[in-house]
A = this chain, B = another copy of it.
Amino acid sequence: MNILITNDDGIYSEGLTALVQEMSEVANITVVAPDRERSATAHAITMHKPLRTEKIHIPNSKASGWKVNGTPSDCVKLALEALLDFTPDLVLSGINRGPNLGTDVIYSGTVSAAIEAALSGIPAIALSIISHNHNYENVSFNSAAQIVKKLCMQILERVFPEDSLLNINIPSVEQDEIVGVAITHLGTIKYKNSFDRRMDPRGKIYYWLAGEAIDNDEIGSDVWAVKNKYISITPLLFDLTKYEVIETLKKWDLQI
């Protein structure tokens, strides 16, 4: 089995290393990932400068791969269309340091890398770990990677749903505290006081994106699941058409 691993925290991140080491036990792993952190890049792609790659080896594993001066989407595109001489059986993106839940998935580089693979018809899973501890000091990426391995082995035995990808968020608690697996829908996360307005030493105004998340932990949502110590698995789509509105718009009878 051939697995391509990428992420948006950069190729040297703890989450990617742990994932590669664990998954190496059950599959041939190739890594193609950004050379540095590219969080919140969403599905950005690099059109106006060339991409460079450098061969690398992931410590304490048999895995090798490439680091790329691009976004997570660039990495997957480049892997599938230029670097690899095989089609992977699975693409994993992560394990991301921090949640990718609810409305926020739209900003996620981690999820976008998985979408890019899904667009090419390859089963793809975005993986994130959630700690209540903001600096992620005592988070066990190794423990999360073990869980991911168990889940992947089961998922690969099923028929992967067409035109879909999976978004998995793992609460950072002891393994025996995890309640189970919840299949969820995306919740909503809104922010209040989103921007900090400040003045620089030269009297000019600038803004920092900040803000306090107000999440709606409605039962059955991913936000609810991880709060209640479930592993959340959400099926995602990449066809953004809102089909149920097409007939309504036709009735509008717009004229030019």
Interface residues of A (CB under 8 A from B): 39-47, 50-53, 73-74, 77-78, 81-82, 103, 105-107, 112, 115, 119, 147, 150-151, 154-155, 158, 161, 163-164, 166, 175, 178, 180-181, 183-186, 194-195, 197-198, 204-209, 231, 233-243, 245-246, 248-250, 252, 254-256
Contact = CB atoms under 8 A, between A and B. Distances in A.
A185 to B, nearest CB: 4
Given A39-B47, A164-B245, A240-B186, A195 B154 contact: no
A233 B233 CA distance: 33
B43 A106 contact: yes
A233 B207 contact: no
Given A47-B40, A107-B43, A183-B249, A194 B82 contact: yes
17 contacts: A40-B47, A42-B43, A45-B209, A52-B207, A74-B209, A78-B195, A82-B197, A105-B240, A106-B115, A106-B119, A158-B252, A163-B242, A164-B242, A166-B249, A183-B250, A185-B246, A235-B245
A101 to B, nearest CB: 12
A184 B52 CA distance: 38
B44 A41 contact: yes
B50 A198 contact: yes
Contacts of A186: 239-241
A162 B245 CA distance: 9
Contacts of A147: 256
B240 A236 contact: yes
Given A50-B207, A195-B78, A237 B242 contact: yes
Contact of A52 (B78, B206, B235, B245): B206
A209 B246 contact: no
Contacts of A183: 246, 249-250
B164 A208 contact: no
Given A53-B205, A77-B209, 6 more contacts: A46-B209, A51-B206, A51-B209, A82-B194, A106-B115, A185-B241
A155 B252 contact: yes
